[in-house]
Amino acid sequence: DIVMTQSPDSLAVSLGERATINCKSSQSVLYSSNNKNYLAWYQQKPGQPPRLLIYWASTRESGVPDRFSGSGSGTDFTLTISSLQAEDVAVYYCQQYYSTPFTFGPGTKVDIK
Amino acid sequence: EVQLVESGGGLVQPGGSLRLSCAASGFTLSSYWMSWVRQAPGKGLEWVANIKQDGSEKYYVDSVKGRFTISRDNANNSLYLQMNSLRAEDTAVYYCTRTWTQLWPPDYWGQGTLVTVSS
């Protein structure tokens, strides 16, 4: 199974400042045949199901604000919130969908400083 | 509007069984892979199983193989998860999710149904 790790476990950022979350996979999730990284990011607020933010490592889902961006390739990925808003307080998860079981990272909690 | 509504959760004793259902609306169920993802109280997300559009392919996480069975009824717009030999560690909120293909992340999630395994 592919093991996903995230860092940090939590972070507190001032409103309007940048938040950066890292995700690492135990093996590459890049398919050479199509040059796509099978990596997604989700946001989960308390009492709600997760919401898909980013897929193919860097493609924003419809309706997701452009302050959210994803980058990286192979085994190392980053989710960046360019200017943190109050409504961005949540737990963020990365997930690989390269091979079953489609494993998730342990999550990173983002709060306001 | 796409909607996924889970039901069937509840309290069950260790070794017992439950059948979860997911009612899908707002899209053509037969066009999508579907999956179940669970989340233990206060914990992270765990992918459980998925099923191809016609039910011909099914995949499971090792911890539920042989105990859980995913199935679907496209005519009735429903997804199911039959859970047998339940253990305390199966206690979680179970989410029904939709994916375009097998190798695609879930784009819609239901609100979840809580399964509690306890004596």
Instruction: Please write the tens of the pLDDT for every residue from B45-91.
Output: 999 999 999 999 999 999 999 999 999 999 999 999 999 999 999 99
In angstroms, rounded to a whole number, what is the distance separating the alpha carbons of residues B46 and B26? Answer: 26
From A44's Cα to the closest Cα of chain B, the distance in A is 10
How many beta-carbon contacts under 8 Å exist across A and B? 54
For A102, the closest chain B residue by CA position comes to B47
* Contacts A5 to B, Cβ<8 Å: none
Q: Which of B50, B59, B110 sits opposite A49 (nearest CB)?
A: B110
Q: How many CB atoms lie within 10 A of CB B35?
A: 25
Question: How confident is the prediction for chain A on average, in pLDDT?
Answer: 97
In angstroms, rounded to a whole number, what is the distance separating the alpha carbons of residues A22 and A93? Answer: 10
pLDDT at A99: 95
* Contacts A98 to B, Cβ<8 Å: 103
Greatest CA separation found in chain A?
43
Instruction: Please write the tens of the pLDDT for every residue from A74-92.
Output: 999 999 999 999 999 999 9
